[in-house]
């Protein structure tokens, strides 16, 4: 059996995921404050196993809720550059979604290439024409204006590799919506000459037949052969079209029509340009959440967690931020001071853990455990110590705000260490491909 999954399915799945953000509690998490093996020179590759997901829960430090406004469809970024040859839209080109057939300019306008002229593009597309028909630039390229990024969009979602793209179902007053509204379903913007023929002494007649109406075109003859066909009316309603070339004193010229995508060019920008990427952008501002996000340690793991529970309940969490580590409060340490990433050991319980964060004002130690430390439970009133013989007595134990192992881990990303500090904002962009 030979089969494919269509691009539309990928775009729909991306859209479903974005919508899911609005109906479920989805959180960005950070975790893994202790180093990767070999002092962070060997970053572990995430593995989709129960074991590895459980480790994600164990290493989790804090979570921040992702709003639907923090998520957008995205497409691969192609900058317009003079001297680059771009691929024009072709309804028969299976590799279109991975081709440079659209661009973004330095004015933050996005254009789709409908006609590529005879060589490299040398004239930057400009303007924001929302009409269905488009005219050629001096280099022979025809560019369809698709949409313009707002400054807010660019700041939040534009990266060196990806361009945000809206999916509009109602009038938001944007140019993109005007483009959608003016799109001409079943239009023909281009006719490709497949054989020039010979013996033509004058321009032959071009006839377009099919299930649409009003598409008209004219041919150009050079050296007795048909070298090009230009549209005089793009027509509408074509799902199929046959181009016939007659007259002009010659024979053998053939051509085919390039029919617009469903709804016409610009009717569905995400579908047309391959919007099967979803980008989530979340900013972590210093020790936000009243200290839920510690600033005295780094993190090496982040991702997305859906529908975690509040600690000790089966109620889905909805708080803006959540603290994910257990804690102990001790008396003043003796023999020195504890440090983040130290392994502490309980003198009575034998329990071990990594120190995630330390509040020296309250002698509160936040900690996490993994397979290396084991998952023992500290006891109140026991003494904990590190490898340097710093010790302190536990006065109380604290629980995380999120129930351990609750929720679905839907994305895992391992990185080199990301240091945190007061008055620092981490601008985190996650890109998921569907």
Range 211-219 average pLDDT: 97
- Range with lowest mean pLDDT among 35-44, 105-114, 329-338, 374-383: 35-44
* Residue 22 pLDDT: 83
pLDDT at 413 over 80: yes
pLDDT tens-digit readout, 270-316? 999 999 999 999 999 989 988 999 999 999 999 999 999 999 999 99
Greatest extent of the chain over all pairs of C-alpha atoms, in Å: 104
Which residues 6+ apart lie within 8 Å of 223 measured at CB?
none
What count of other Cβ atoms lies within 10 Å of the Cβ of residue 398?
Answer: 15
Q: What distances in angstroms separate CA 97 from CA 102, 180, 283, 416, one per listed residue?
A: 10, 20, 31, 32
Write out the two tokens for 245.
């070339």
Spatial separation of the C-alpha atoms in residues 360 and 130, rounded to whole Å: 61
Write out the two tokens for 188.
């023909």
* Residue 132 pLDDT: 87
Predicted TM-score (pTM) of the model is 0.89
CATH topology (fold) of 72-185+264-276: baseplate structural protein gp8, domain 2 (2.170.290)
Q: Parallel, antiparallel, or unpaired for β 321-323 and 60-65?
A: antiparallel
Range 92-112 average pLDDT: 95
pLDDT tens-digit readout, 4-41? 888 889 999 999 999 999 899 999 999 999 998 877 77
Helix (H) or strand (E) holding 142: strand 141-148
* Residue 38 pLDDT: 76
Domain ranges of the chain: 72-185+264-276, 188-258, 325-399
Write out the two tokens for 117.
């002229």
């Amino acid at each position: 059996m030979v089969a494919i999954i269509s691009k539309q399915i990928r775009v729909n799945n991306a859209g479903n995921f974005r919508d899911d953000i609005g109906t479920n509690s989805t959180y960005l998490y950070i975790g893994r404050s202790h180093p990767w093996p070999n002092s962070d020179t060997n970053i572990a590759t995430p593995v989709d196993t129960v074991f590895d997901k459980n480790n994600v829960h164990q290493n989790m430090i804090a979570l921040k809720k992702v709003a639907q406004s923090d998520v957008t469809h995205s497409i691969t970024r192609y900058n317009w550059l003079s001297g680059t040859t771009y691929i024009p839209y072709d309804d028969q080109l299976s590799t279109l979604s991975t081709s440079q057939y659209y661009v973004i300019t330095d004015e933050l306008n996005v254009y789709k290439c409908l006609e590529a002229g005879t060589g490299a593009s040398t004239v930057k597309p400009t303007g924001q024409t929302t009409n269905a028909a488009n005219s050629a630039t001096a280099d022979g390229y025809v560019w369809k204006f698709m949409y313009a990024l707002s400054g807010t969009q660019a700041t939040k979602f534009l990266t060196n590799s990806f361009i945000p793209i809206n999916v509009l179902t109602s009038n938001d007053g944007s140019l993109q919506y005007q483009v959608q509204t003016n799109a001409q379903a079943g239009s023909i913007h281009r006719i490709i000459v497949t054989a020039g023929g010979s013996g033509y002494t004058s321009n032959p007649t071009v006839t377009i037949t099919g299930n649409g109406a009003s598409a008209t075109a004219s041919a150009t003859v050079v050296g007795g052969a048909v070298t090009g066909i230009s549209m005089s009316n793009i027509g509408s309603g074509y799902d199929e079209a046959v181009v016939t070339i007659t007259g002009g004193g010659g024979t053998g010229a053939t051509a085919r029509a390039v029919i617009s995508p469903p709804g016409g060019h610009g009717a569905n920008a995400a579908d047309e340009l391959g919007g099967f990427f979803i980008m989530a952008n979340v900013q972590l501002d210093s020790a936000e959440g009243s200290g839920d996000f510690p600033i005295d340690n780094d993190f090496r793991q982040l991702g997305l967690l859906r529908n975690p529970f509040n600690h000790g309940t089966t109620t889905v969490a909805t708080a803006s931020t959540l603290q994910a580590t257990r804690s102990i409060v001790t008396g003043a340490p003796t023999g020195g001071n504890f440090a983040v990433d130290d392994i502490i050991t309980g003198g009575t319980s034998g329990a071990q853990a990594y120190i995630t964060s330390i509040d020296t004002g309250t002698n509160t130690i936040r900690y996490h455990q993994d397979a290396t430390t084991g998952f023992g439970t500290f006891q109140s009133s026991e003494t904990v110590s590190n490898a340097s013989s710093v010790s302190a007595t536990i006065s109380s134990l604290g629980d995380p705000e999120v129930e351990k192992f609750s929720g679905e881990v839907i994305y895992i990303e391992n990185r080199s260490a990301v240091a945190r500090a007061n008055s620092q904002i981490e601008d985190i962009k996650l890109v998921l491909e569907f």
